[in-house]
Structure formats: structure tokens, C-alpha cells
Amino acid sequence: MRSPRLANPLLAITLSFLAVHCGRKGDPVPRPRAAAQAMEAHLEGLRKIRLVLPSTDMNGTPLAGVESLRVLYLPLGLAKPTPEEVFSRGEVVLERRRPDLPGPGEALVMDLQSLQRPPGWIVIVAVRLGEVPGRPSEVLPWLDPAL
């Protein structure tokens, strides 16, 4: 019995080269992170806010956690702004980062005694790893610190 021989050795070399070198090169590309859902925010007195951190992202996927919380402030205008307006035009006045944050779905009370701003509006945004901001919370009034 005869052993099989390749009719064209150049074809065999080319096929083996393509089989070894096909595919994507480099590190795997992580899937883009979706923004976190908006968190629940309620005033507890004049200078404290009770927050419930989001537990899912915009796609409904559970979150492992958030990297930071940002408080954005916008001065008073003629009408109450939407959360997106405060987020786009406001300034970051306070930021709280991990590891000082509770897990997803857990509550946190933020004390804003150090925030010295005139009357206006505030929203809180959860920021995921990679600087991906979530949806802003509902707009909360910020009263005169002299009260």
C-alpha cells in the first residue's frame, strides 16, 4: 500500500500558513459599557440626600458597581430644568469615589454641608468604570445655605 503524497507542496505550505495566521490580532476588545440607570434621590432635610444606587444598566444587565457619584449644580433660572439640562450645563461640585460607595441597589446618605452655592438645582449621576456617565437622577432643589 502506498502512502498518500501531496500533489503540490506549495499549496500545502500556503494552507498551513493561513491556518496558523488567521484570526484577530492583539488583545480582545471589550464590549462597550452601557450607561447606568438613573438612581433614586430624595432630600432628607436641607443638606442631606438619600440615594439608592442603580443595580442595572440601560440594557437591563446587572451592574457590578459604579466607579463614582457626581453631584452637578446649576444656578436658578426662569423655570425648573430637566435632568439632562442640569447634566449638560451644570458644574460638578462634589464627587465621591470607590471604595467609599455601597454596592448596587444599596442606599447611601450624602451630607452636602460643605457645598456653598446659591440657590439652584442639583442632580446626581453614577459613573461607571471608563468614565461612562449614567442617566442623571431627578432634579432636586438646592436652597440658600443661610437657611
Distance separating alpha carbons of residues 72 and 79, to the nearest angstrom:
17
Domains of the chain: 40-142 (2.60.40)
Distance separating alpha carbons of residues 51 and 80, to the nearest angstrom:
21
pLDDT digits (tens, 9 = 90+) for 43-95: 998 889 999 999 988 888 888 878 999 999 999 887 899 999 999 999 999 99
Say yes or no to pLDDT of 106 above 60.
Answer: yes
Say yes or no to pLDDT of 36 above 70.
Answer: yes
Distance separating alpha carbons of residues 6 and 10, to the nearest angstrom:
9
